[in-house]
Amino acid sequence: MAEPPDPLPADPAELVRIIRDLEARNADLQAQVETLKALIFGAKSERTAVIDPDQGVLNLGDLAVEAAPAANDNADRTPGKPGRHPHRPAKRNVGALPRHLPRVETTIEPESTACPCCAGPMHRIGEDVAEALDVIPALVRVLRTIRPKYACRCCHGTLVQAAARPRVVDGGMATTALVAHVVVAKFAWHLPLYRQSRMFAGQGIALDRTTLVFWVRRAAWWLKPLYERLLLFIRSQERVFGDETPLPRLDPGRGRTRICQLWAQAVDDRPWQGPARPAVGYVFAEGRDTAAIQDQLAGFDGLLQVDGYAAYKALVRRRKRASIRLVFCLSHARRKFVAVFRTTRSEVAREVIGRIGEVYAIEARIRGTTAETRLRVRQDRSRPILEALKVRLMAVRAEISGQSSLAKAISYTLGHWDGLVAFLEDGRIEVDTNTVERLMRPIGLGRKNALFAGSAAGGRDWAILASLINSARLNGLDPFSYLADVLERIVSGAVKANDLDRLLPWAWKAERDADAGTVRAA
């Protein structure tokens, strides 16, 4: 609001309006002060609890509040006890060691099997068996490859020798498996290269970080065509999730890092038994503007489910044809009201959170059913809840100052309403963007440990390797087994460039399972 006029108007109604606006403004400012005080002086848990989700680099959602059930798609919360997890029995591995692990048996015999009474021989009547999980630390070895040379005693200059096997790094000392190990440790388990260098040093192996960086770069170079096939698959789908997160990179000469972006597009039809295999593709970009996302989605037509970021809206406006429909995230709208409730204890915010929680409770019960079932249940149960919520929000907005934090949350929700309730018209649409936000968490963990990408090229390598590794994990694959085999087959030429689709995670898994079935049958 603008500053009050000077002199003040004589109209009593105008004075009342000014006073109410000032009161709303003061309440909003006081809420901001309390939030900042908690961030600065509160305990760590309290500081985390008041952070605005839009300010967090990962957008992981809000913590549970006492006001309403959580809106997390994977969390089964007990209705009526908001913010509390129901008791679950602890998962224990005792007595359930994996059957596929090799068994090494050790038999401990008594010192004597002679009867202590008559000194006669005793016979075995049974045994006690106990199992314990053991580990052998990583074994680093040297593979010597010998290529004999053969020459003819009769013919001059005739020489025969087997060709050297290609490697990820030409003439380098690393096998494909070692390079895959370094890549997976960094992008799946978030071990920065300098830590890996120290781990190798602990085994007496001198591998500086520069060498490891070069290995990672070469792996990304070999895998780039497969990564491009992965992106093509994702963008060919009718429904795609989108999100972005900051990725700092070094910027020599500035004395600080430059904040770039890692954009993500993901697809996952499993919640409604759809045909598309789960996959995620990350794209590195220098900026966060519309141009960055426009280049990425130039050929995409369909439903794009995102948060309320303006770049996505501008993308749709710039399209000459309405080929992209934006679907928004109900969880993001909920977070607005959670932030209001935490700072103002607004009963209206509490009510909104509770109604959205009812919708999420319905979603939890129909997750994994067919699109037809989801649509029917949503029409019968979720639609009345959301229609009543819209009426309530419109009524409240007309009664409160537009400067209040509650009014801003309401305006955001109503301004995105059509996209927020799109799931009511299509059983294939999810209620939120948690699918892609979960896939941003590995990026955040890697960024937290590594701090930044070394260059723009390093950011692009990050996108390539993280895309393939996280897509493999989405399909239930061990990242190392997948990446080592894929690298070996690409480098050796066993799989040609025009046949790379067979190396996409789900196709690779199907081929592996088919081969395993053939072996068992034989």
Q: How far is CA 219 from the centre of its chain?
A: 22
Does the structure show a pLDDT above 60 at 374? Answer: yes
Least Cα distance to 176 among 492, 469, 487 occurs for 487
pLDDT at residue 74 above 80?
Answer: no
As to burial, measured by CB atoms within 10 angstroms (0-12 exposed, 13-18 middle, 19+ buried), residue 2 is exposed
Instruction: Tell me if 164 sits within 8 A of 145, measured CB to CB.
Output: yes
- Which residue has tokens 């978030």? 190
Q: Indicate the SS3 state at residue 243.
A: strand
The DSSP symbol for 304 reads E
Q: Please compute the mean of the pLDDT values over residues 368-374 and round it to a whole number.
A: 95
Pairing of strands 239-250, 159-161: unpaired
pLDDT tens string 140-151: 889 898 999 999
pLDDT tops 70 at residue 269: yes
Length of the chain: 522
7 upstream amide cis, omega within 30 of 0? yes
Q: What is the pLDDT of residues 475-494, one digit of tens each?
A: 999 999 999 999 999 999 99
Beta sheet of 324-327, edge-to-edge order: 279-285, 257-267, 239-250, 302-305, 324-327
Q: Is 481 exposed, middle or buried (0-12, 13-18, 19+ CB in 10 A)?
A: middle
Which residue from 360, 361, 369, 379 is spatially nearest to 424, judged by alpha carbons? 379
Position with higher pLDDT, 78 vs 229: 229
Q: What is the distance between the alpha carbons of residues 188 and 183, in angstroms, rounded to a whole number? A: 8
Q: Which tokens belong to 355?
A: 């109604």
Assigned token pair, 313:
């809206």
Long-range contacts (CB closer than 8 Å, 24 or more residues apart) made by 86-90:
none
Q: 218-222, 295-299, 388-392, 501-505: which has the minimum mean pLDDT?
A: 295-299
Residue 69 has pLDDT above 60, yes or no: no
Residues 258, 246: contact at Cβ < 8 Å? no
Task: Give the integer Cα–Cα distance in Å for 312 and 225.
Answer: 27
d(Cα 505, Cα 472) in Å, to the nearest integer? 5
What is the pLDDT at residue 251?
80
Q: Average pLDDT for residues 315-333, to the nearest whole number?
A: 85
**Rounded Cα–Cα distance for residues 54 and 175 (Å):** 43
Of 38-52, 206-220, 393-407, which gets the smallest average pLDDT? Answer: 38-52
As a whole number of angstroms, the distance between CA 439 and CA 442 comes to 6
Instruction: Report which DSSP code applies to 90.
Output: P
Q: Which residues pair with 374 in a beta bridge?
A: none
Q: Higher-confidence residue: 307 or 255?
A: 307
In percent, the amount of the chain with pLDDT more than 70 equals: 87
Band of residue 61 on the pLDDT scale cut at 50, 70, 90: very low
Per the DSSP assignment, residues forming a β-bridge with 114 are 121
- Contacts within 8 Å (CB) and 24+ apart, 74-83: 74/434, 76/364, 77/357, 77/361, 79/357, 79/361, 82/353, 82/354, 82/357
Report the pLDDT averaged over residues 86-109.
75
Q: Alpha-carbon torsion 170, 176, 178, 182, what sign?
A: positive
- Check whether 48 has a pLDDT greater than 60: no
Model pTM above 0.85: no
Helix axes 456-474, 479-492, angle to 10 degrees: 120
Q: Which residues pair with 302 in a beta bridge?
A: 324
Of 259, 305, 318, nearest to 284 by C-alpha is 259
Residue 271 CA to residue 65 CA, distance in Å, equals 26
**Residue 322 — pLDDT band, cuts 50, 70, 90?**
low
pLDDT tens-digit readout, 334-355: 999 999 998 888 999 999 999 9
Q: Quick check: 216 pLDDT over 90?
A: yes
Residue 483 to residues 176, 486, 489, Cα–Cα distance (Å): 9, 5, 10
- Is pLDDT at 40 greater than 60 in this prediction? yes
DSSP 377-420: HIIIIIHHHHHHHHHHHHHHHTTS-TTSHHHHHHHHHHHTHHHH
DSSP 262: E
Among candidates 235, 193, 244, which has minimal Cα distance to 215?
193
The pLDDT of residue 83 is: 44
| Residues 307 and 332: beta-carbon distance below 8 Å | yes
What are the structure tokens assigned to 139, written together?
């074994």
